[in-house]
Amino acid sequence: MSTLTVTGVSASYGSKEVLHDVDLVVPTGTTTAILGPSGCGKTTLLRVIAGFRAPSAGRVAIDDRDVVADGVWVAPERRGIGYVAQEGNLFPHLDIAHNLTFGLNWRERRASAGVPELLELVGLDPELARRRPDQLSGGQQQRVALARALARKPGLVLLDEPFSSLDTALRASTRASVAQALAATGTTVVLVTHDQSEALSFADQVAIMRAGRFAHVGPPPDVYHSPVDPHAAAFLGDAVMVSGRVVAGSGAGSGAGRRVISPLGELETPDALASVEGLDVEVMLRPEQLRLVRSGHTGPPLGTLDGSTSRLGPRGTAQGVVVDTTYYGHDALVSVRLEDDAHTVVQARTTGSAMPSVGERVGVTVDGPARIYPLA
């Protein structure tokens, strides 16, 4: 197990700088997911850590050992890092057993687990050792690639979008098997991905990268529920953005009484920004916080994911008309145009079985606090 520390790393392709003074700490035995759009620099950072690309500035350390620094450059094979690429990159002419042991010297082969043990570690039948890569499914090939990376018992493993080429069902099962294998070895992991759900479910820490810098680094619940800005909020899942204004509140305790008025009513917010009464702000909610009630209905909200009832704010329930629905089976995304503000359309997430019809009048209530941002 190893701690990874990246300090002030910059990197360029020709005259274009793609990483700008990047800092990151990945604690021992944890998983960090680097999440961002294509071209933001996340794979370049992974290649700098692995030693496949030299940065123009900065330091990379594994535990207390510098592998990149002023006057220091440690070759990739001497960094004690395992690397799994997007396609796995298994040798097609070798069987699985020889793929797993390829490149190991005799000392490493003696120190490493045997081929059957490596396959069992990643949830594969040891009988597969005699097969070639083209005789395995895509998910099995990715697990073999991980087993090969773990054969040298590295303290740090880098995963470069290893599940992106798999179909949805296979991606989920392969990801679960890989997570179990990594947890069993206590390996420190850095995952590069563009899949928000993958980052949130797989990692202990999520680092959102934008234009070569980290916009927000933190535990998955923090970056999802309290994103640093509206751009991060929109990137990390569906977000409901409405205008608002801070109003005076009441109550005792830290953060108590902080409220913001919006087209959805008077909302609670824990943000310190809400202490500035009269401030115009942008309000962020997640669609699952919006509860729908059929017009005139006084029972539980319509199709809430947890079946719970919601608190009505001081202004009661906002009214609206359903203008669009997107059905996913297990749930649905419902777009509602608010009657008091015809320019505002909000999205609520309901269970798929309780999805209302387009044109139906509904009430909208909000469950939980809102996140607010100053208007640009």
Neighbours of 48 (CB within 10 A): 24
The pLDDT > 90 percentage for the chain reads: 59
Residue range 353-369: mean pLDDT, rounded = 93
pLDDT of 251 = 43
Beta bridge partners of 284: 241, 371
Question: pTM of the predicted model, to two decimals?
Answer: 0.85
Render pLDDT for 33-68 as a digit per residue (tens, 0 to 9). 999 998 999 999 999 999 999 999 999 999 999 999
Let me know the angle formed at the C-alpha of 274 by 238 and 218, rounded to the nearest 5 degrees: 50
Q: What is the DSSP letter of 355?
A: P
Q: Taking Cα atoms as reference points, which of 257, 264, 263, 237 lies closest to residue 366?
A: 264
Q: How large a percentage of the chain has pLDDT more than 70?
A: 89
pLDDT of residue 189: 95
Give the Cα separation of 318 and 337 in Å (integer): 10
Q: What is the pLDDT of residue 359?
A: 95
CA angle (289, 32, 55) in 5-degree steps: 130
Spatial separation of the C-alpha atoms in residues 216 and 349, rounded to whole Å: 25
CB-side exposure of 252: number of CA atoms within 13 Å? Answer: 0
Q: Which helix (H) or strand (E) holds 243?
A: strand 240-247
Tens digit of each residue's pLDDT (9 = 90 or more) over 310-334: 333 334 579 999 999 999 998 999 9
Nearest to 46 by CA among 33, 56, 63: 33
Least confident of 154-168, 184-198, 285-299, 332-346: 285-299
The distance from CA 225 to its chain's CA centroid, rounded to whole angstroms, is 12
- Report which secondary-structure segment, H or E, holds 260: strand 259-262
113 — pLDDT class (breaks 50, 70, 90): low
Mean pLDDT of the chain: 87
Q: pLDDT tens across 246-285, in order?
A: 997 644 444 456 899 999 999 999 988 888 889 999 999 9
Measured between alpha carbons, how far is residue 131 from residues 58, 136, 141, 143, 171 in Å? Answer: 44, 8, 11, 14, 22
pLDDT reported for residue 2: 87
Residue 256: how many other CB atoms lie within 10 Å: 12
Pairwise CA distance, residues 79 & 60, whole Å: 11
**DSSP-assigned letters across all residues of 39-84:** TSSHHHHHHHHHTSS--SEEEEEETTEEEEETTEE--GGGS-EEEE
Contact yes or no for 77/52 (Cβ under 8 A): no
Note the pLDDT tens digit of each residue in 140-163: 888 888 888 888 888 999 999 888
Measured from the Cβ of residue 316, the count of other Cβ atoms closer than 10 Å reads 11
Looking at the predicted structure, is the pLDDT value of residue 115 above 90? no
Q: Out of 45-59, 110-124, 228-242, which region has the weakest mean confidence (pLDDT)?
A: 110-124
User: Does 135 have pLDDT greater than 60?
Assistant: yes
Which amino acid does the sequence have at 367? D
* Structural domains of the chain sorted by starting position, each given as residue range(s) with its CATH number in brackets: 4-233 (3.40.50.300), 238-374 (2.40.50.140)
Structure tokens at 208: 């959102």
Which of 161-175, 262-276, 297-311 shows the highest mean pLDDT?
262-276
State residue 297's pLDDT score.
53
Residues recorded for the chain: 376
Confidence of residue 123 (pLDDT cuts 50, 70, 90): confident
CB atoms within 10 A of CB 43: 20
Amino acid letter, 48: V
pLDDT at 298 > cutoff 70 = no
* Burial (Cβ within 10 Å: 0-12, 13-18, ≥19) of residue 164: middle
β 265-268/259-262 pair status: antiparallel
